[in-house]
Amino acid sequence: MVDRGVPEARAACSNQDGNGVREDVVADDVARQIASGYATGGAALELGAVVVDGVPDAGAAVRIPLATVNRHGLVSGATGTGKTKTLQLLAEQLSDAGVPVLLADVKGDLSGMVEPGRADQVAERAAEVGDAWRATGYPVQFWSLGTRGRGVPVRATVTSFGPLLLAKVLGLNPTQESTLGLIFHWADQRGLALLDLKDLRAVIQFLTSDEGAAELQGVGGVSPATAGVILRALSNLEARGGEEFFGEPELAVADLMRQVDGRGVVNLLELDDVQSDPVLFSTFLMWLLAELFEELPEAGDLDRPKLVFSFDEAHLLFSDASKAFLQRIEQTVKLIRSKGVGIFFCTQLPTDLPGTVLSQLGARVQHAIRAFTPDDQEALSRTVKTFPTTEHYRLDEALTSLGTGEAIVTVLSEAGAPTPVAWTRLRAPRSLMGAIGEEAVRENAASSPLWERYRESVDRESAYERLAAKVAAPVREEPAAATERPGLVQQAMENPAVRSFVRSAASALGREITRGLFGNRRRR
């Protein structure tokens, strides 16, 4: 936890109002009145100091009770207003409290958390907010989505990811999503695990063959046209590097919940070029949440969370999402707090999130909003309405006047009630604010105890390989069509021996796979 430090006296002001009351005294009274709503009896995350009339009061602290962090939160604001530094500040204090954290490091700016910060960069800010600042480095685990990055590779199997999340990644419409669900259902019933994209492709091709079509009689089957759309979407995903993410060894969520010398590990998920596949990135984070929900036991009320999860670029998850998808997000956010997991969404505007999700977020840290266009003005007006009323600030003016590293804050008190709205000058992080070199990240990842477990992809025998092996069996030669030659799996499916093999192999692979709230595989 960050030390609260010794409050410093506020500079006196000689100005008086018409009643002879000094303005600095009145401002101090307002600041202390606001800060009284943030008083805590237990451990808390220190955010900063209340600002009134542009001046911070070092004795008026704004904080989040640690016991309410699993009631979730939102960090929002325009680009360049300090959202990343706020997440860094929160992650440091959670780590000090023994709570592991997962942060999406989209730009690589958070890699400096592994090293102590520089006093010359933060001395003035520390004095303003009454922070007894000290340079500190933190235990960091670097992860990369897939195998192209610098961190420990993160993978998921297709079976584990499930049809609902995969349909979101593939950009399927409701009809195509329903068909993909039927394909997974057929594989699940036979205990047929789909480890990578090749396996899913093989199953789709089988179910559109004459033999496979008979397997789905009575439930609608898979139309060749819809199957073609899904196969093309899979090809596009492979071209974007999806084949490097889907596979084994699959990430075990327990590896995100480690401590080092009593401090929680800060897991930094690297994705320097998020625009290369933003939907895969945001949907993967949702898969992680679903996995945590399925694996963690009920925890009840805790004095501190088991894990805090930062959901960066959150608007990407909700964009073009189906009604069923949004309902499951709402359910997951609502229920996962009972497992001891806190979520902080990070986006530019609160209105990027559906109201049903936004209403569940107990902590709000709103950085500056830009309001240059009519659409911006409308978004500003809607944002103001999401905050409790306050007699101390005009929020429409305040939200466009905040400086970098300042925010409008309201959280849940220990009693579960919203705290007063506070214009807050935030504390500075204690670790390095900036990136470290690529080689330093690689060396750190390679020295991790998890490196050997995840660094090499494993392509064990599965549906695709078994079908391909059967192609060597004698098959009657057929002249290739003038337009397109059948694929390897399609050739295999023309062999009766292969068809028989598919049925027996599926039975041998185990019991039926069951799925959880978000369509992800339940662990046996």
Q: How would DSSP label each residue in 70-111?
A: GG-EEEE-STTSSHHHHHHHHHHHHHHTT--EEEEESSSGGG
How confident is residue 219, by pLDDT bands cut at 50, 70 and 90?
A: low
Burial of 224 (0-12, 13-18, 19+ CB in 10 A): exposed
Task: Report the CATH architecture of 23-154+248-453.
Answer: 3-Layer(aba) Sandwich (3.40)
Under DSSP, is residue 306 helix (H, G, I), strand (E, B) or coil? coil
pLDDT of residue 126: 96
Least confident residue range of 22-26, 217-221, 320-324, 393-397: 22-26
Q: CB-based contacts of 237: which residues, under 8 Å, 6+ apart?
A: 169, 170, 197, 243, 280
pLDDT of residue 192: 75
Cα→Cα distances 186→213, 473, 497, 507, 512, Å: 11, 26, 20, 12, 10
How confident is residue 218, by pLDDT bands cut at 50, 70 and 90?
A: low
Q: What strand order describes the sheet that includes 422-426? A: 55-65, 44-52, 422-426, 406-410, 363-366, 73-76, 341-347, 307-311, 101-105, 266-270, 140-145, 152-154
d(CA 75, CA 86): 8
pLDDT of residue 472: 40
Least confident residue range of 219-233, 332-346, 380-394, 505-519: 505-519
Q: CB-based contacts of 379: which residues, under 8 Å, 6+ apart?
A: 349, 351, 369, 371
The 10 Å CB-count burial string (b at 16+, else e) for 396-433 is eebbbebeebbbbbbbbbeeeeebbbbbbbbbbbbbbb
How confident is residue 209, by pLDDT bands cut at 50, 70 and 90?
A: confident
CB 88 within 8 A of CB 365: no
Is the pLDDT reported for residue 234 higher than 90? yes
- The residue assigned the tokens 């640690």 is 66
Strands (E), 336-464: 341-347, 363-366, 406-410, 422-426
d(CA 410, CA 73): 10
d(CA 335, CA 519): 15
Using a pLDDT cut of 90, give the percent of the chain over it.
Answer: 55
d(CA 25, CA 29): 6
d(CA 381, CA 429): 31
pLDDT of residue 275: 46
Cα→Cα distances 263→85, 98, 307, Å: 20, 4, 12
Give the count of beta carbons closer than 10 Å to the beta carbon of residue 177.
Answer: 21
Nearest to 43 by CA among 16, 22, 64: 64
d(CA 386, CA 378): 13
- The domain segmentation of the chain, as residue ranges, is 23-154+248-453, 158-246+461-508
pLDDT of residue 391: 93
Strands (E), 190-244: none
Omega prior to 7 cis, within 30 of 0: no
Is the pLDDT reported for residue 306 higher than 50? yes
Pairing, β 307-311 against β 101-105: parallel
Least confident residue range of 249-253, 377-381, 497-501: 497-501
pLDDT of residue 177: 92
The 10 Å CB-count burial string (b at 16+, else e) for 348-364 is bbbbbbeeebbeebbbb
